[in-house]
C-alpha cells in the first residue's frame, strides 16, 4: 500500500452529520495482513490521521515512512482481517448498459454485462443489487443512488476518471461496490468527489490526482497519491451479502 504526494486520511461519522460537522483528526486507520518490510509506504508529505495495523506477528518495519510522514501508532492485529471475496447473485444477463454522452439514464437492479458511461452524463440507480463485469466512464459523469441502498458487484474492472461524482448525498453506505473472486482493479482518478464503500479483496485499487473520497475501502493493494484525501466514515459497519456476519465494510484500507 502506498500513500504519496500529499495524500491524507482522517475520519467522520455520517450518522452524526456531514464531514464539516463530524470530522476528526483520528480514526483514519490503515491496515494490512502483510508482515513484509515496506508493505506500507508513506512518502512525500503523506498524513495518516489514525493508526496503522499490520499483519499478525508483524513489526514496525512493515511501514516504510520518510521523515515528513505523519501517522499514529503501529500495532499488529490479533487475527488476519477477512479477505473472502463477495458472492454475486446469478442469473441470465440483461446485456450491456451504455449511457450516451450527455445522457440521463435510470436503471433497475439486475445482472448485466458491461457498464459504459459516456461523458457529461448521469446514471441513476434504484435500490437493489446490480452485477456488472467491467465498469468504465470518463469526463464529468455522475452516478446517483436514486433510492437506497444500492449494491454494485463487479467481476472484472472499474475505471472511472476525470471529474466523477458518486452518490453525492454524503451517506457512503447507501452505495457499496463489491468485488467478486475475479475482480482485478478499481481505478478512480482525476478530480473525483464521491461517497461510497468498496470491498474488493482481490482487486488493485488506485486513487489519485485531487480526489475527495468518503467511505471505506478494502482491496488487495492500494495506491493513494497526488493530493488524494480519504475520509473514513465511522458509520460503515455494513454486512456483505452472502458472507459471514463478521465480514463488514468498516475499515478504511485493508489488503
pLDDT digits (tens, 9 = 90+) for 4-34: 999 999 999 999 999 999 999 999 999 999 9
- Can you give the pTM of this predicted structure? 0.94
Using alpha carbons only, what angle is made at residue 173 by residues 105 and 217, rounded to the nearest 5 degrees? 100
Measured in whole angstroms, the distance separating CA 173 from the mean position of its chain's CA atoms is 11
CA distance 21 to 76: 32
Q: Which residue has the higher pLDDT, 69 or 81?
A: 69
**Lookup: cell for 70:** 505523519
CA distance 56 to 225: 27
CA distance 255 to 253: 7
Q: Are 157 and 134 in contact (CB under 8 A)?
A: yes
CA distance 57 to 47: 25
Question: pLDDT class for 237, splitting at 50, 70, 90?
Answer: confident
**pLDDT at residue 248, as a whole number:** 55
Amino acid at each position: 500500500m502506498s500513500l504519496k504526494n500529499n495524500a491524507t486520511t482522517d475520519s467522520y461519522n455520517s450518522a452524526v452529520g456531514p464531514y464539516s460537522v463530524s470530522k476528526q483528526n483520528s480514526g483514519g486507520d490503515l491496515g494490512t495482513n502483510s508482515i513484509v518490510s515496506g508493505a506500507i509506504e508513506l512518502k512525500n508529505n503523506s498524513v495518516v490521521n489514525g493508526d496503522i495495523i499490520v499483519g499478525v506477528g508483524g513489526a514496525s518495519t512493515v511501514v516504510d515512512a520518510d521523515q515528513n510522514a505523519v501517522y499514529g501508532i503501529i500495532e499488529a492485529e490479533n487475527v488476519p482481517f477477512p479477505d473472502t471475496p463477495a458472492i454475486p447473485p446469478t442469473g441470465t444477463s440483461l446485456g450491456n448498459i451504455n449511457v450516451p454522452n450527455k445522457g440521463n439514464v435510470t436503471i433497475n437492479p439486475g445482472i448485466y454485462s458491461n457498464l459504459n458511461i459516456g461523458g457529461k452524463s448521469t446514471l441513476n440507480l434504484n435500490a437493489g443489487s446490480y452485477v456488472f463485469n467491467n465498469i468504465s466512464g470518463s469526463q464529468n459523469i455522475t452516478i446517483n443512488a436514486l433510492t437506497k441502498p444500492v449494491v454494485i458487484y463487479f467481476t472484472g474492472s472499474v475505471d472511472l476518471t476525470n471529474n466523477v461524482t458518486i452518490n453525492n448525498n454524503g451517506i457512503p453506505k447507501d452505495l457499496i461496490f463489491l468485488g467478486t473472486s475475479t475482480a482485478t482493479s478499481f481505478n478512480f482518478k482525476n478530480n473525483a468527489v464521491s461517497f461510497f464503500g468498496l470491498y474488493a479483496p482481490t482487486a488493485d485499487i488506485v486513487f489519485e490526482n485531487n480526489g475527495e473520497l468518503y467511505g471505506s475501502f478494502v482491496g488487495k493493494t492500494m495506491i493513494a497519491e497526488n493530493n488524494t484525501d480519504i475520509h473514513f466514515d465511522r458509520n460503515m459497519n455494513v454486512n456483505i451479502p452472502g458472507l459471514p456476519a463478521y465480514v463488514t465494510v468498516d475499515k478504511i484500507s485493508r489488503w
